[in-house]
Amino acid sequence: MITIDKSGCKPFANEQQINSYMDKALKGFDTLESGSGAGNDFIGWNHLPSTITKEVMDEYKDVVSRWQAMNIDTVVVIGIGGSYLGAKAAISALGHNFTAKLSNKGMHILFAGSNMSEDYLAELTDVIEDRNTACVVISKSGTTTEPAVAFRIVKQYIEQKYGMEESAERIVAVTDRNRGALKSLATAQGYTTFVIEDNIGGRYSVLTPVGLLAIALAGYDIDAMVRGAQEAEKVCSERSESNPSIQYAALRNMLYDAGYKTEILVNYNPRLLYVSEWWKQLFGESEGKDGKGIFPASVTNTTDLHSMGQYIQEGERTLFETVLHVASCRREMLIPFDKDNLDNLNYLAGRRVEECNEAAMNATIIAHIDGGVPQIKVEIPSMDEFNLGWLFYFFEKACGISGYVLGVNPFNQPGVEAYKKNMFALLGKPGYEELAAELKKRL
């Protein structure tokens, strides 16, 4: 269960203001639940967890078993934006800080297709050279250039190494049911294919094959993750002021309207870096449109207290923070006693490192409130599959509600097309000749 602590907003807003935004968030919730809002053909994620059956989960597990039987140790997961960030967030958050090997019994997941860096792809081939490799390629549209380029390279590599017939056993496609180049290619080559339903956009798709297949291949318990999401769906579907997704949507919109235009998601565990990246995409792509939207940023503390801390404490006062607090950590590490005490740290001897981390968090929250930065605290009991499933669903629900409070369509991303058109023109894609001529004059 996730809880929201709004006490860090109180110095900046009175009860009446908070209540009036709770009313707005309840209306946003109604719009989402009734399916009457903009983008309502993309809310298939809203009551998805409760419809996930054992049969669906078994299909993901079948791929895991098949590839385990082939001794596959490395899987290249290809996708960009919503087609990779959920899996990347989960695998980073659940894994080991230093090595994939120690973290689980699953396969080593390498991500590709989320950038256009030649070095990145060349170095990927260095890594997979001596590995027993398979590939999951994920693209809802099936036409996105970054993953398509990466897939062409990885596909050829796998085909040359293992032969055409075996390659079909080593490649799985996750894409649209009927449309797109990836769908045609997968059908022609006979790849196992999973469908991303039409009514679920990329950034809301972590609990579909887009996220769950890669997470299962990495060795994590996707049943527990879905159970967490199912519990979250139940709690976050209550039309009540105690619903944490309604509370969060209310508080962030209240702060935005009061001039706090940037929200910083704060964590105190480097494992959560990609949870922040996933959250930034979810909220940034959902709300940043029509000249509006909270700018989503993130920091990982205490690291960033020594880089961004100065700005947050004393820079332009348009920031608020949402602290993602994980109440317990997985390991215990005590600070040792030192008989010489030359570093003067014996006052901490015998105490847990996490106690220092908590003290840093509480000290920072108070300092930032004093510096004029409102604080929302989102607390989860621990970072495991169940609670991560909870967190994913909670943020998705809050984002849908929040977008409606803001007055935008939280489920489209028209602005993403602008760079794509220009890139196609500059690369000489047929059909873009006129735009190419125009752009070249500007370069």
Query: Shortest distance, CB of residue 52 to ligand PA5, whole angstroms?
Result: 20
Q: Single out the catalytic residue among 277, 285, 321, 385.
A: 285
The one among 68, 141, 192, 346 contacting ligand PA5 by CB under 6 A: 141
Quick one: which of 203, 253, 196, 200 has its CA closest to 39?
200
Site string for ligand PA5, 301-340 (x = CB under 6 A): ----------------------------------------
At its nearest, how many Å lie between ligand PA5 and the CB of residue 435?
A: 20
Residues sharing a CB contact under 8 Å with residue 90, sequence separation 6 or more, in sequence order:
206, 211, 215, 218, 220, 225, 388, 392
* Nearest residue (CB) to ligand PA5, 80 versus 388: 80
Site residues for ligand PA5, 283-302, by CB under 6 A, read: 285
Contact 42, 412 (CB under 8 A): yes
Min dist CB 282 to ligand PA5, Å, is 8
CB of 139 to ligand PA5, least distance (A): 3
Q: How many residues bind ligand PA5 (CB under 6 A)?
A: 15
Q: Which is nearer to ligand PA5, 170 or 183 (CB)?
A: 183
Q: Which of 306, 316, 339, 434 is catalytic?
A: 306
The verdict on 203 binding ligand PA5 (CB under 6 A) reads: yes
In this chain, which residue has its C-beta nearest to ligand PA5?
A: 202
Rounded to whole angstroms, the Cα distance separating 390 from 228 reads 5
Q: How far is the CB of 18 from ligand PA5 (least distance, A)?
A: 31
Catalytic residue among 292, 420, 421, 440: 420
Interaction of residue 271 with ligand PA5, rule CB under 6 A:
no
95 touching ligand PA5, by CB under 6 A? no
Minimum distance from CB of 148 to ligand PA5 (Å)?
8
Min separation Cβ 322 and ligand PA5, Å:
21
The tokens 């190419």 sit on which residue? 436
Burial of 56 (0-12, 13-18, 19+ CB in 10 A): middle
Q: Which of 324, 52, 299 is nearest to 194 (CA)?
A: 52
Q: Applying CB under 6 A, which part among 56-64, 140-148, 268-276, 383-391 lies near ligand PA5?
A: 140-148
> Is 420 a catalytic site residue?
yes
As a whole number of Å, the end-to-end CA separation of the chain is 52
Q: Which is nearer to ligand PA5, 140 or 325 (CB)?
A: 140
Which CB sits closer to ligand PA5, 144 or 230? 144
Of the candidate spans 10-18, 200-208, 259-267, 379-387, the one that interacts with ligand PA5 by CB under 6 A turns out to be 200-208
Identify which range of 14-22, 57-65, 138-146, 319-327 contacts ligand PA5 by CB under 6 A. Answer: 138-146
The distance of closest approach from Cβ of residue 175 to ligand PA5 in the complex, given in angstroms and rounded to an integer, is 8
In the window 44-83, what residues touch ligand PA5 (CB under 6 A)?
Answer: 80-83
**By CB under 6 A, which span of 55-63, 91-99, 139-147, 241-249 interacts with ligand PA5?**
139-147
Residue 79 CA to residue 434 CA, distance in Å, equals: 30
For residue 179, CA distances in Å to 204, 333, 398 come to 20, 52, 30
The single residue among 24, 88, 140, 377 that binds ligand PA5, judged by CB under 6 A, is 140
Nearer to ligand PA5, 80 or 109 (CB): 80
Is the torsion defined by CA of 115, 397, 57, 141 positive or negative?
negative
243 touches ligand PA5 by CB under 6 A: no
Residues recognised as catalytic = 285, 306, 420
Instruction: Give the footprint of ligand PA5 on this chain (CB under 6 A).
Output: 80-83, 139-141, 144, 147, 201-203, 285, 413, 416
